[in-house]
Structure 1
Amino acid sequence: MTHPVIGVLALQGDVREHLAALEAAGATALPVRRPEELGRVQGLVIPGGESTTISKLAAAFGLLEPMRERVRSGMPAYGSCAGMIMLADKILDPRSAQETIGGIDMIVRRNAFGRQNESFEAAVELDGVAGGPVPGVFIRAPWVESIGARAESLAEYDGHSVAVRQGRLLATAFHPELTGDHRVHRLFAEMVRDAT
Protein backbone atom coordinates (compact mmCIF):
# COMPACT_ATOMS: atom_id res chain seq x y z
CA MET A 1 0.00 0.00 0.00
CA THR A 2 1.37 3.39 -0.97
CA HIS A 3 1.83 6.15 1.57
CA PRO A 4 0.13 9.28 0.27
CA VAL A 5 2.08 12.50 0.78
CA ILE A 6 -0.17 14.86 2.71
CA GLY A 7 0.70 18.38 3.75
CA VAL A 8 -0.49 20.24 6.82
CA LEU A 9 -0.82 23.99 6.44
CA ALA A 10 1.72 25.07 9.04
CA LEU A 11 1.01 28.77 9.56
CA GLN A 12 -0.96 28.62 12.81
CA GLY A 13 -2.96 26.12 14.84
CA ASP A 14 -2.57 22.47 15.84
CA VAL A 15 -0.09 21.49 13.14
CA ARG A 16 1.98 18.92 15.09
CA GLU A 17 -1.11 16.98 16.13
CA HIS A 18 -2.28 16.64 12.53
CA LEU A 19 1.20 15.62 11.35
CA ALA A 20 1.30 12.87 14.01
CA ALA A 21 -2.27 11.68 13.26
CA LEU A 22 -1.55 11.48 9.52
CA GLU A 23 1.63 9.45 10.11
CA ALA A 24 -0.34 7.11 12.40
CA ALA A 25 -2.97 6.78 9.64
CA GLY A 26 -0.36 5.57 7.12
CA ALA A 27 0.49 8.80 5.31
CA THR A 28 3.75 10.67 4.84
CA ALA A 29 3.04 14.05 6.44
CA LEU A 30 4.85 17.32 5.64
CA PRO A 31 4.40 20.87 6.96
CA VAL A 32 3.44 23.39 4.26
CA ARG A 33 4.44 27.05 4.68
CA ARG A 34 5.34 28.08 1.12
CA PRO A 35 3.86 27.58 -2.37
CA GLU A 36 6.75 25.31 -3.42
CA GLU A 37 6.01 23.00 -0.45
CA LEU A 38 2.35 22.90 -1.49
CA GLY A 39 3.50 21.67 -4.89
CA ARG A 40 5.09 18.56 -3.30
CA VAL A 41 1.95 17.18 -1.64
CA GLN A 42 -0.95 15.09 -2.94
CA GLY A 43 -3.44 16.32 -0.34
CA LEU A 44 -3.66 19.07 2.28
CA VAL A 45 -4.96 19.40 5.83
CA ILE A 46 -6.02 22.84 7.04
CA PRO A 47 -5.81 22.62 10.84
CA GLY A 48 -7.82 24.18 13.60
CA GLY A 49 -6.65 27.46 15.01
CA GLU A 50 -8.02 30.93 14.35
CA SER A 51 -9.59 31.20 10.89
CA THR A 52 -9.03 34.95 10.52
CA THR A 53 -5.34 34.58 11.38
CA ILE A 54 -4.92 31.59 9.06
CA SER A 55 -6.57 33.55 6.23
CA LYS A 56 -4.31 36.59 6.73
CA LEU A 57 -1.14 34.51 7.06
CA ALA A 58 -2.01 32.41 3.99
CA ALA A 59 -2.37 35.62 1.99
CA ALA A 60 0.86 37.07 3.42
CA PHE A 61 2.81 33.87 2.62
CA GLY A 62 1.46 33.78 -0.95
CA LEU A 63 -0.45 30.55 -0.32
CA LEU A 64 -4.10 31.57 -0.58
CA GLU A 65 -4.39 31.62 -4.37
CA PRO A 66 -2.17 28.52 -4.90
CA MET A 67 -4.36 26.59 -2.42
CA ARG A 68 -7.50 27.73 -4.23
CA GLU A 69 -6.02 26.63 -7.56
CA ARG A 70 -5.00 23.20 -6.22
CA VAL A 71 -8.45 22.64 -4.65
CA ARG A 72 -10.19 23.72 -7.88
CA SER A 73 -7.98 21.32 -9.85
CA GLY A 74 -8.99 18.38 -7.64
CA MET A 75 -6.43 18.16 -4.82
CA PRO A 76 -8.03 16.50 -1.78
CA ALA A 77 -8.23 18.74 1.28
CA TYR A 78 -9.45 18.22 4.82
CA GLY A 79 -10.20 21.04 7.26
CA SER A 80 -10.85 20.69 10.99
CA CYS A 81 -12.58 23.53 12.90
CA ALA A 82 -10.94 26.67 11.47
CA GLY A 83 -10.07 24.50 8.47
CA MET A 84 -13.79 23.86 7.94
CA ILE A 85 -14.29 27.63 7.79
CA MET A 86 -11.42 27.95 5.30
CA LEU A 87 -12.98 25.33 2.97
CA ALA A 88 -16.46 26.91 3.06
CA ASP A 89 -17.68 28.83 0.05
CA LYS A 90 -19.29 31.35 2.41
CA ILE A 91 -18.91 32.45 6.04
CA LEU A 92 -22.08 33.77 7.67
CA ASP A 93 -20.26 36.19 9.98
CA PRO A 94 -16.78 36.86 8.54
CA ARG A 95 -14.28 39.21 10.13
CA SER A 96 -13.29 42.14 7.97
CA ALA A 97 -11.28 41.08 4.92
CA GLN A 98 -11.46 37.40 5.93
CA GLU A 99 -11.07 35.16 2.88
CA THR A 100 -11.53 31.44 2.39
CA ILE A 101 -10.07 28.83 0.08
CA GLY A 102 -13.59 27.65 -0.66
CA GLY A 103 -14.57 24.49 -2.48
CA ILE A 104 -17.37 23.13 -0.29
CA ASP A 105 -20.86 24.37 -1.12
CA MET A 106 -21.79 25.37 2.43
CA ILE A 107 -22.30 28.37 4.67
CA VAL A 108 -20.64 28.16 8.09
CA ARG A 109 -21.05 30.17 11.28
CA ARG A 110 -17.84 30.91 13.18
CA ASN A 111 -17.67 30.13 16.94
CA ALA A 112 -21.23 28.78 16.73
CA PHE A 113 -20.88 26.43 19.72
CA GLY A 114 -19.67 29.21 22.01
CA ARG A 115 -16.52 30.66 23.48
CA GLN A 116 -13.32 28.92 24.55
CA ASN A 117 -14.64 28.18 28.06
CA GLU A 118 -17.69 26.47 26.51
CA SER A 119 -15.53 23.90 24.69
CA PHE A 120 -16.65 20.27 25.06
CA GLU A 121 -16.16 16.71 23.89
CA ALA A 122 -18.89 14.58 22.33
CA ALA A 123 -19.24 11.25 20.54
CA VAL A 124 -20.08 11.85 16.87
CA GLU A 125 -21.64 9.29 14.51
CA LEU A 126 -19.75 9.90 11.28
CA ASP A 127 -21.02 8.39 8.01
CA GLY A 128 -18.25 6.54 6.19
CA VAL A 129 -16.26 5.76 9.36
CA ALA A 130 -16.70 2.25 10.78
CA GLY A 131 -16.24 1.21 14.39
CA GLY A 132 -18.80 3.35 16.19
CA PRO A 133 -18.82 7.05 17.05
CA VAL A 134 -15.64 9.11 16.79
CA PRO A 135 -14.65 11.33 19.71
CA GLY A 136 -15.08 14.97 18.79
CA VAL A 137 -13.36 17.86 20.56
CA PHE A 138 -15.27 21.09 19.94
CA ILE A 139 -13.22 24.25 20.68
CA ARG A 140 -14.92 27.52 19.66
CA ALA A 141 -16.27 25.33 16.88
CA PRO A 142 -18.23 26.39 13.82
CA TRP A 143 -21.31 24.65 12.54
CA VAL A 144 -22.83 24.44 9.07
CA GLU A 145 -25.78 26.82 8.66
CA SER A 146 -26.73 25.48 5.25
CA ILE A 147 -25.38 23.02 2.75
CA GLY A 148 -25.72 23.07 -1.02
CA ALA A 149 -26.79 20.25 -3.31
CA ARG A 150 -23.21 19.30 -4.25
CA ALA A 151 -22.15 18.59 -0.65
CA GLU A 152 -23.33 15.98 1.82
CA SER A 153 -23.55 16.11 5.59
CA LEU A 154 -21.72 13.20 7.26
CA ALA A 155 -22.57 14.01 10.89
CA GLU A 156 -24.83 16.16 13.03
CA TYR A 157 -24.58 17.33 16.59
CA ASP A 158 -27.30 19.24 18.45
CA GLY A 159 -29.27 19.63 15.21
CA HIS A 160 -26.42 21.10 13.19
CA SER A 161 -24.16 19.55 10.57
CA VAL A 162 -20.61 19.18 11.94
CA ALA A 163 -18.99 17.10 9.18
CA VAL A 164 -19.33 17.60 5.43
CA ARG A 165 -17.89 16.01 2.32
CA GLN A 166 -17.95 17.25 -1.24
CA GLY A 167 -16.04 15.06 -3.66
CA ARG A 168 -12.40 15.15 -2.58
CA LEU A 169 -13.00 17.74 0.16
CA LEU A 170 -13.74 16.87 3.80
CA ALA A 171 -14.43 19.15 6.75
CA THR A 172 -15.24 18.66 10.43
CA ALA A 173 -16.24 21.25 13.03
CA PHE A 174 -14.39 19.21 15.64
CA HIS A 175 -10.76 18.22 16.21
CA PRO A 176 -10.13 14.46 15.70
CA GLU A 177 -6.37 15.11 15.84
CA LEU A 178 -6.61 15.80 19.59
CA THR A 179 -8.18 12.44 20.52
CA GLY A 180 -5.76 9.65 19.61
CA ASP A 181 -8.47 8.19 17.32
CA HIS A 182 -7.07 8.27 13.78
CA ARG A 183 -10.10 7.06 11.82
CA VAL A 184 -10.92 10.47 10.31
CA HIS A 185 -7.31 10.84 9.18
CA ARG A 186 -7.41 7.29 7.75
CA LEU A 187 -10.56 8.27 5.82
CA PHE A 188 -8.77 11.31 4.42
CA ALA A 189 -5.62 9.32 3.58
CA GLU A 190 -7.86 6.90 1.63
CA MET A 191 -9.43 9.86 -0.19
CA VAL A 192 -5.94 11.03 -1.20
CA ARG A 193 -4.94 7.50 -2.30
CA ASP A 194 -8.11 7.21 -4.40
CA ALA A 195 -7.38 10.56 -6.05
CA THR A 196 -3.83 9.67 -7.10
Structure 2
Amino acid sequence: MSTPTIGVFALQGDVREHLAALTRLGARAIAVRRAAELEQCDGLIIPGGESTTMAKLARTFELFEPLQKRIGQGMPTFGTCAGMIMLADRVVDGTADQETLSGLDITVRRNAFGRQVDSFEGELDFQGLTEPVHAVFIRAPWVEQIGAAVDVLARAPGGEAVGRIVAVRQGALMATSFHPEVSEDDRIHRTFLDLVKQIAT
Protein backbone atom coordinates (compact mmCIF):
# COMPACT_ATOMS: atom_id res chain seq x y z
CA MET A 1 0.00 0.00 0.00
CA SER A 2 1.76 3.13 -1.21
CA THR A 3 -0.79 5.78 -0.19
CA PRO A 4 -3.13 4.66 2.59
CA THR A 5 -6.34 6.57 3.28
CA ILE A 6 -6.49 7.54 6.94
CA GLY A 7 -9.66 8.96 8.40
CA VAL A 8 -9.87 11.27 11.39
CA PHE A 9 -13.05 11.09 13.47
CA ALA A 10 -14.27 14.62 12.89
CA LEU A 11 -17.42 15.14 14.94
CA GLN A 12 -15.42 16.65 17.82
CA GLY A 13 -11.80 17.15 18.89
CA ASP A 14 -8.36 18.01 17.45
CA VAL A 15 -9.22 17.09 13.88
CA ARG A 16 -7.28 19.66 11.84
CA GLU A 17 -3.93 18.95 13.53
CA HIS A 18 -4.14 15.21 12.83
CA LEU A 19 -5.15 15.79 9.22
CA ALA A 20 -2.13 18.08 8.79
CA ALA A 21 0.30 15.55 10.28
CA LEU A 22 -1.01 12.76 8.07
CA THR A 23 -0.81 14.95 4.98
CA ARG A 24 2.81 15.87 5.78
CA LEU A 25 3.60 12.14 5.84
CA GLY A 26 2.06 11.55 2.42
CA ALA A 27 -1.14 9.80 3.48
CA ARG A 28 -4.52 10.62 2.00
CA ALA A 29 -6.23 12.15 5.03
CA ILE A 30 -10.01 12.58 5.22
CA ALA A 31 -12.41 13.85 7.87
CA VAL A 32 -14.91 11.17 8.92
CA ARG A 33 -18.41 12.27 9.94
CA ARG A 34 -20.49 9.63 8.17
CA ALA A 35 -20.37 5.88 7.67
CA ALA A 36 -19.78 6.35 3.93
CA GLU A 37 -16.56 8.23 4.69
CA LEU A 38 -15.46 5.56 7.15
CA GLU A 39 -15.82 2.92 4.42
CA GLN A 40 -13.06 4.63 2.42
CA CYS A 41 -10.53 4.33 5.25
CA ASP A 42 -7.60 1.95 5.62
CA GLY A 43 -7.06 3.29 9.14
CA LEU A 44 -8.61 5.76 11.57
CA ILE A 45 -7.49 8.28 14.19
CA ILE A 46 -9.79 9.19 17.07
CA PRO A 47 -8.46 12.54 18.35
CA GLY A 48 -8.38 14.25 21.69
CA GLY A 49 -11.53 16.07 22.74
CA GLU A 50 -14.31 15.07 25.13
CA SER A 51 -15.02 11.34 25.15
CA THR A 52 -18.65 11.45 26.30
CA THR A 53 -19.51 14.10 23.70
CA MET A 54 -17.75 12.05 21.01
CA ALA A 55 -19.80 8.97 21.85
CA LYS A 56 -23.09 10.89 21.86
CA LEU A 57 -22.31 12.58 18.53
CA ALA A 58 -21.30 9.24 17.01
CA ARG A 59 -24.71 7.90 18.05
CA THR A 60 -26.49 10.97 16.64
CA PHE A 61 -24.70 10.68 13.28
CA GLU A 62 -25.24 6.89 13.14
CA LEU A 63 -21.49 6.33 13.20
CA PHE A 64 -21.13 4.44 16.50
CA GLU A 65 -22.00 0.94 15.28
CA PRO A 66 -20.07 1.28 12.00
CA LEU A 67 -17.00 2.34 14.01
CA GLN A 68 -17.39 -0.60 16.38
CA LYS A 69 -17.78 -2.97 13.44
CA ARG A 70 -14.68 -1.74 11.57
CA ILE A 71 -12.57 -1.79 14.75
CA GLY A 72 -13.82 -5.30 15.52
CA GLN A 73 -12.89 -6.37 11.98
CA GLY A 74 -9.31 -5.24 12.56
CA MET A 75 -9.14 -1.77 11.02
CA PRO A 76 -5.98 -0.07 12.39
CA THR A 77 -7.11 2.65 14.79
CA PHE A 78 -5.11 5.18 16.80
CA GLY A 79 -6.69 7.01 19.73
CA THR A 80 -5.11 10.08 21.35
CA CYS A 81 -6.21 11.33 24.80
CA ALA A 82 -10.04 11.11 24.59
CA GLY A 83 -9.45 8.69 21.71
CA MET A 84 -7.67 6.37 24.14
CA ILE A 85 -10.77 6.42 26.35
CA MET A 86 -12.98 5.71 23.33
CA LEU A 87 -10.96 2.58 22.53
CA ALA A 88 -10.73 1.30 26.11
CA ASP A 89 -12.76 -1.68 27.29
CA ARG A 90 -13.00 -0.23 30.82
CA VAL A 91 -13.13 3.35 32.18
CA VAL A 92 -12.60 4.53 35.77
CA ASP A 93 -14.11 7.89 36.81
CA GLY A 94 -16.27 8.02 33.72
CA THR A 95 -19.71 9.60 33.60
CA ALA A 96 -22.80 7.57 34.46
CA ASP A 97 -23.59 7.23 30.76
CA GLN A 98 -19.98 6.74 29.60
CA GLU A 99 -19.89 4.65 26.44
CA THR A 100 -16.84 3.50 24.51
CA LEU A 101 -16.17 1.79 21.20
CA SER A 102 -13.94 -0.76 23.00
CA GLY A 103 -11.28 -2.96 21.46
CA LEU A 104 -8.30 -2.27 23.72
CA ASP A 105 -8.05 -4.58 26.73
CA ILE A 106 -7.16 -1.75 29.08
CA THR A 107 -8.60 0.10 32.05
CA VAL A 108 -8.17 3.88 31.74
CA ARG A 109 -8.71 6.55 34.36
CA ARG A 110 -10.47 9.55 32.87
CA ASN A 111 -8.84 12.96 33.59
CA ALA A 112 -6.19 11.10 35.60
CA PHE A 113 -3.62 13.89 35.34
CA GLY A 114 -6.08 16.49 36.65
CA ARG A 115 -7.96 19.43 35.22
CA GLN A 116 -7.03 21.74 32.34
CA VAL A 117 -4.82 23.83 34.66
CA ASP A 118 -2.78 20.70 35.45
CA SER A 119 -1.78 20.21 31.81
CA PHE A 120 1.95 19.69 31.32
CA GLU A 121 4.64 18.70 28.83
CA GLY A 122 7.60 16.35 29.09
CA GLU A 123 10.09 14.21 27.22
CA LEU A 124 9.39 10.48 27.22
CA ASP A 125 10.87 7.37 25.70
CA PHE A 126 8.62 5.70 23.15
CA GLN A 127 9.14 2.09 22.12
CA GLY A 128 10.67 1.83 18.65
CA LEU A 129 11.89 5.44 18.52
CA THR A 130 15.53 6.26 19.16
CA GLU A 131 15.03 9.81 20.44
CA PRO A 132 12.57 10.90 23.18
CA VAL A 133 9.16 12.29 22.23
CA HIS A 134 7.98 15.69 23.45
CA ALA A 135 4.58 14.82 24.91
CA VAL A 136 1.78 17.28 25.72
CA PHE A 137 -0.75 16.11 28.31
CA ILE A 138 -4.08 18.00 28.48
CA ARG A 139 -6.71 16.66 30.92
CA ALA A 140 -5.20 13.32 29.99
CA PRO A 141 -6.15 9.79 31.01
CA TRP A 142 -3.65 7.14 32.01
CA VAL A 143 -3.81 3.36 31.80
CA GLU A 144 -4.29 1.59 35.13
CA GLN A 145 -4.44 -2.01 33.92
CA ILE A 146 -3.57 -3.86 30.71
CA GLY A 147 -4.52 -7.25 29.37
CA ALA A 148 -1.99 -9.91 28.42
CA ALA A 149 -2.08 -8.99 24.71
CA VAL A 150 -1.35 -5.29 25.29
CA ASP A 151 2.17 -3.87 24.78
CA VAL A 152 3.28 -0.79 26.73
CA LEU A 153 4.84 1.77 24.39
CA ALA A 154 5.54 4.60 26.86
CA ARG A 155 5.27 5.60 30.51
CA ALA A 156 4.91 9.02 32.12
CA PRO A 157 8.33 10.69 32.38
CA GLY A 158 8.12 12.37 35.78
CA GLY A 159 6.15 14.07 38.51
CA GLU A 160 3.59 12.34 40.70
CA ALA A 161 2.50 10.15 37.78
CA VAL A 162 5.98 8.85 36.95
CA GLY A 163 5.81 5.35 35.55
CA ARG A 164 2.12 5.47 34.67
CA ILE A 165 1.32 3.88 31.30
CA VAL A 166 0.60 6.56 28.67
CA ALA A 167 0.89 4.68 25.37
CA VAL A 168 -0.16 1.17 24.34
CA ARG A 169 -0.64 -1.10 21.38
CA GLN A 170 -2.75 -4.22 20.94
CA GLY A 171 -2.70 -5.72 17.48
CA ALA A 172 -4.09 -3.13 15.07
CA LEU A 173 -4.99 -0.68 17.85
CA MET A 174 -2.73 1.99 19.29
CA ALA A 175 -3.38 4.74 21.84
CA THR A 176 -1.60 7.55 23.65
CA SER A 177 -2.67 9.64 26.65
CA PHE A 178 -0.94 12.64 25.15
CA HIS A 179 -1.38 14.73 22.00
CA PRO A 180 1.29 13.95 19.35
CA GLU A 181 -0.57 16.11 16.83
CA VAL A 182 0.22 19.40 18.59
CA SER A 183 3.97 19.16 17.95
CA GLU A 184 5.78 19.12 14.62
CA ASP A 185 7.29 15.74 15.47
CA ASP A 186 5.42 13.32 13.21
CA ARG A 187 7.20 10.15 14.32
CA ILE A 188 4.25 8.69 16.25
CA HIS A 189 1.91 9.32 13.32
CA ARG A 190 4.53 7.65 11.12
CA THR A 191 4.55 4.68 13.50
CA PHE A 192 0.79 4.40 13.04
CA LEU A 193 1.06 4.67 9.24
CA ASP A 194 3.66 1.90 9.28
CA LEU A 195 1.21 -0.21 11.29
CA VAL A 196 -1.54 0.42 8.72
CA LYS A 197 0.77 -0.61 5.87
CA GLN A 198 2.00 -3.66 7.76
CA ILE A 199 -1.52 -4.92 8.43
CA ALA A 200 -2.58 -4.29 4.82
CA THR A 201 0.17 -6.54 3.42
Smaller-chain TM-score bracket: over 0.9
Q: Distance in 2 between matches of 1:60 and 1:125?
A: 39
Matched residue SS, 2:23? helix
Q: Does 1:183 align with 2:182?
A: no
Counterparts of 1:65-84 in structure 2, within 5 Å, are: 65-84=65-84
> What's 1:48 paired with?
48
Q: Distance in 2 between matches of 1:10 and 1:122?
A: 27
Q: How far has the Cα of 1:3 moved from its partner? A: 1.3
> What's 2:141 paired with?
142
| TM-score, scaled to structure 1 | 0.97
> What's 2:33 paired with?
33
Which amino acid letter does the alignment assign opposite residue 44 of structure 1?
Answer: L
Q: CA deviation digits over 1:53-86, x for unaligned, max 9?
A: 1111111111111111101101000000000000
> What's 1:105 paired with?
105
Q: Distance in 2 between matches of 1:18 and 1:83?
A: 12
Q: How far has the Cα of 1:26 moved from its partner? A: 2.3
Q: Does 1:172 align with 2:171?
A: no
Give the superposed CA RMSD: 0.9
Q: Distance in 2 between matches of 1:28 and 1:11?
A: 19
Gaps of 5+ in 1: none
> What's 1:85 paired with?
85
The range that moved more, 151-160 or 135-144, is 151-160
| TM-score, scaled to structure 2 | 0.95
Gaps of 5+ in 2: 157-161
Q: Which has the higher contact order (CA 8 A, sep 6+)?
A: 1
Matched residue SS, 1:164? strand
Q: How far has the Cα of 1:50 moved from its partner? A: 0.6
Q: CA deviation digits over 1:109-162, x for unaligned, max 9?
A: 0100010011011111000223x1111100000000111101111111112100
> What's 1:160 paired with?
164
Matched residue SS, 2:126? coil
Q: How far has the Cα of 1:27 moved from its partner? A: 1.1
Which amino acid letter does the alignment assign opposite residue 102 of structure 2?
Answer: G
> What's 2:94 paired with?
94
Q: Does 1:20 align with 2:20?
A: yes
Q: Distance in 1 between matches of 2:26 and 2:120?
A: 28
Q: How far has the Cα of 1:170 moved from its partner? A: 0.4
Q: Distance in 2 between matches of 1:5 and 1:167?
A: 19
Q: Does 1:58 align with 2:45?
A: no
Which amino acid letter does the alignment assign opposite residue 139 of structure 2?
Answer: R
Q: Distance in 1 between matches of 2:134 and 2:107?
A: 24
Report if the CA contact (8 A) 1:7-1:43 is conserved.
Answer: yes
Which amino acid letter does the alignment assign opposite residue 136 of structure 1?
Answer: A
Matched residue SS, 1:85? helix
Moved over 4 A (4+): none
Q: Number of aligned pairs? A: 195
